[in-house]
Amino acid sequence: MFIEQLRTAITAAPRAELPTLSSLLWKAYAAGHVTEAEASEVSEAIAFKQALPAAPKPVPRRLIGSRPRSPGHMERRRRWAASGCLPPALAARFTLAEQAALAVVAAEHRKRGDCRLTNKEIADVAGVSITTVKNALRAARTINLLAVEERRLSAFRNASNIVRIVSPEWRMWLRLGGGGKSVPRSPTQLKIPASAQLNRTWAAEGQDARTGAPWRDSGGARGRAHAAQKHS
């Protein structure tokens, strides 16, 4: 009975407790509770477990964010991180800068069903570095929050990756309106006014070219004719 309990304890014990179990074994052998064969067998089991390499300790992720390049970057970073696009339990696993990058991805995913922005575009909008964006996507992909589809066009050219949120908790959070009111405007929304303004500028310039020049010419001709009549 005692020897079976000792074998079970050796199997479950960490390396630091093996010397204590070895001492108990030989005390039990001296007291006559364990036979010599049983003591030899258990002693070999302890020696075998001590010879095994120690399991590597998990290295925790460093929750240290990157340094913002300007006050504007810091403002955008804080606004996106505080937008509520990530559930609090998931956001706690990332730095402030990584939260901002993932919030941009979440805003695009909610609007279009996925995110097709490049890493540089995400970094510019969130006010973080491209390295931070890559780290955030890699970490989120590791814990099965995101799925990333790579689009290779040629051996040296790729299209932007397609990033989709696959976490049921995150998708439900967005479906229930998490971050819907406080999120900044999405990057694709920011591009529309600029292009519309450019189109209006081109249209105005084209209309000036069609209508403005003849009026100026005709006005000049009328002025010259009027001056000629006065001199005559």
Question: Mean per-residue pLDDT for 175-198?
Answer: 57
Tens digits of per-residue pLDDT, 14-71? 777 878 878 877 787 787 777 878 778 878 887 877 777 766 666 555 555 556 667 7
Which of the pair, 200 or 144, is modelled with greater confidence?
Answer: 144
Residue 183 is predicted with a pLDDT of 58
Overall number of domains in the chain: 2
Domain boundary among 171, 191, 211: 191
Pick the range with the lowest mean pLDDT from 62-71, 111-120, 135-144, 204-213: 204-213
Structure tokens, 198: 């450019």
What pLDDT does residue 21 have? 75
Beta carbons within 8 Å of 74's beta carbon, 6+ residues apart? 68, 127
CA distance 141 to 105: 13
* Predicted pLDDT at 186: 52
Residue 228, pLDDT above cutoff 60:
no
Structure confidence at residue 212 (pLDDT): 47
- Domain presence at residue 94: yes
Say whether pLDDT at 204 is over 70: no
Selected residue with higher pLDDT from 160 and 42: 160
37 and 122 within one domain: no
How many Å apart are CA 204 and CA 60, to the nearest integer? 58
Q: Is the dihedral of CA 90, 94, 97, 98 positive or negative?
A: negative
CATH number, position 130? 1.10.10.10
Beta bridge partners of 147: 164
Q: How many CA atoms lie within 13 A of 135 on its CB side?
A: 19
Two structure tokens written together for 69: 């390049």
The structure's pTM equals 0.52
Residue range(s) defining the domain that contains residue 148: 71-191
**What are the start-end ranges of the H helices in 143-212?**
168-175, 187-207
Helix H or strand E segment including 89: helix 88-91
Share the mean pLDDT of the chain. Answer: 75
Q: Which of 43-47, 112-116, 179-183 has the highest mean pLDDT?
A: 112-116
Residue 40 tokens read as 């030899």
Task: Give yes or no for residue 203 having a pLDDT over 80.
Answer: no
Give 153's pLDDT tier (boundaries 50, 70, 90).
confident
Residue 131 has pLDDT above 50, yes or no: yes
**Residue 77: is its pLDDT beyond 80?**
yes
What is the DSSP secondary structure assignment for residue 66, as one 8-state letter? P
139 and 89 housed in the same domain: yes
Give a yes or no: residue 97 inside a domain: yes
- Per-residue model confidence as pLDDT tens digits over 85-113: 999 999 999 999 999 999 999 999 999 99
The conformational region for residue 48 under phi > 0 = left, psi -120 to 50 = alpha, else beta, is alpha
Q: How far apart are CA 181 and CA 202, in angstroms?
A: 35
Q: Does 41 map to a domain?
A: yes
Q: Are residues 79 and 181 in the same domain?
A: yes
User: Taking a C-beta distance cutoff of 8 angstroms, is the pair 122, 105 a contact?
Assistant: yes
* Residue 178 shares a structural domain with residue 76: yes
Name the one residue in this structure whose structure tokens are 């079976």. Answer: 4
Q: At what angle do helices 96-112 and 119-126 cross, to 10 degrees?
A: 110
Instruction: Give the residue carrying structure tokens 């929304």.
Output: 189
Task: Say whether both 25 and 112 belong to one domain.
Answer: no
Same domain, 98 and 129: yes
Q: Is residue 205 part of a domain?
A: no
Residue 221 lies in a domain: no
142/33 same-domain check: no
Domain identity same for 45 and 88: no
Binned at pLDDT 50, 70 and 90, residue 4 comes out as confident
DSSP notation for 1-38: -HHHHHHHHHHH--GGGHHHHHHHHHHHHHTTSS-HHH
